[in-house]
Amino acid sequence: MRIYLSRPHMSGTEQDYVAQAFASNFVAPLGPQLEAFEASVSDYLGGDLHCVGLSSGSAALHLALRIAGVGTGDEVWISSMTFAGGIFPVNYLGATPRFFDLDPASWTIDIARLTEELAVADRDGRLPKAIVPTDLYGQSVDLDALEALAAQYDIRLVLDSAESLGAAYREGRKAGTGGDAAILSFNGNKIITTSGGGMLVTRHKDWADQARFLATQARDPAPHYEHSTFGYNYRLSNICAAIGLGQMEVLDDRVARRRAICERYRATLSRPGISFMPEPDGHRSTRWLTALTIDPEETGVSREDIRLMLLEHEIEARPLWKPMHMQPLYAGSPYHGTGVDEALFANGLCLPSGSDMSDEQQDEVIQRIENLLDRSR
């Protein structure tokens, strides 16, 4: 039986919520399940938050950047190590990305380097329109520092929290609650899923109102179809939102299971040459995927040796995200860093981390890796 990297894991109540949606005949991007799902996420995150259910995390980022005023010729400063869907909306709007390296102590955007470059950009009159840092593999960025920088330079801050619903920042503050807006993803491989979907989370009511308007084809209030600007078909289906209601009931359980899986990997595989993604004091990552690095000089095997060996045994593992500044699409784009993210990509691997993975399946993953390491001594 194939062991997947991270597959959907149902709670058992999703079908009940979907049945309610069918019974009410709300099967389009409108209805009580969608409203309840938005309220559920808002309540979970706490505070005065407005949530807008959308078709994907990328759609949420696209709307957030448009509402932030990003347009042709503007710069958006963004984590280089991220998923493509976390950068493409910059292109949709005709803006230019400027990529930033990671802090090796957290694997999130390098705040010190960002601070230095903002001072230079301010002096030169080329401040970015927005900053988009990524909560990599479920670990919250340094919200306090980023919010302070955004306020100092009057820059919009949009947090890519696609992988971190359920994570906590220092003093119990939850990931996905900072900046002008945060985006969440409910893709099939995420902590919880709506089959496909995303969400815009913001403290600004006017941002939420604009997002709902733009996400429903920007239809002006009129008995006919009237449009004063262009919009998108980005709203989340009520049926998908019904699935999300069942998933929200087990969110903390899913995070706890993934964290336990990560700790078990750490306890068994930690040795010279193998290092796991750090977790700063006070942070609580979702450990969406257990991410580690392999030093081939110390272990005698490479990241690819392990990945391909696992694949031969129907076990899915994946390299870390390839930094965007290394992608053909963004060749020559400005990049600030020393290559921390490049080294992580060269030697990094994500191990199977799904919350429905059994201990026996994890034992197999561990044993096969240990056997390869032992043979390579």
Which residue range forms the structural domain that includes residue 357?
251-375
Number of domains in the chain: 2
The 8-class DSSP code of residue 325 comes to G
We report the CATH number of the domain holding residue 25 as 3.40.640.10
How far apart, in whole angstroms, are the C-alpha atoms of residue 150 and residue 139? 20
pLDDT on residue 231: 97
Query: What type of residue is 206?
Result: D
Predicted local confidence at residue 130, as pLDDT:
98
Report if residue 269 sits inside a domain.
yes
Integer Cα distance of 210 and 1 in angstroms: 46
What confidence score (pLDDT) does residue 246 get? Answer: 98
165: nearest Cα among 131, 196, 133, 199: 199
> Considering 248, 269, 303, which residue would you say is the last residue of a domain?
248
Give residue for tokens 């087990």.
250
Question: Of the candidates 199, 217, 248, which is a domain's last residue?
Answer: 248
C-alpha to C-alpha distance for 106 and 331, rounded to whole angstroms: 26
- The predicted pLDDT at position 170 comes to 84
User: What was the pLDDT predicted at 172?
Assistant: 77
Answer yes or no: is 240 within a domain: yes
Assigned token pair, 196 = 């496909």
Q: Does residue 105 share a domain with residue 128?
A: yes
Residue 308 lies in a domain: yes
Q: What is the pTM of this model?
A: 0.96
Considering just the CA atoms, what is the radius of gyration of the chain in Å? 21
Residue 1 lies in a domain: no
pLDDT along the chain (377 residues), means of 10: 96 96 90 97 93 98 98 98 97 98 98 98 98 98 97 98 96 92 97 96 98 96 95 97 98 98 98 97 96 97 98 98 98 97 98 97 98 90
Among the listed residues 62, 52, 61, 35, the one whose alpha carbon sits nearest the alpha carbon of residue 230: 62
Q: CA 146, CA 227: separation in Å to the nearest integer? A: 37
Q: Same domain, yes or no, for 67 and 197?
A: yes
End-of-domain residue from the set 216, 231, 248: 248
357 and 264 together in one domain: yes
Q: What is the pLDDT of residue 10?
A: 96
The pLDDT score that the predictor gives to residue 171 is: 79
- How many separate helices (H) and strands (E) can be counted in the chain? 13, 14
Same domain, 82 and 230: yes
Quick one: pLDDT at residue 306? 98
Here the CATH number for the domain that contains residue 302 is: 3.90.1150.10
Is 7 a domain residue? no
> What is the structure's pLDDT at 268?
98
Is 351 domain-assigned? Answer: yes
Grouping H, G, I as helix, E, B as strand and the rest as coil, residue 250 is: coil
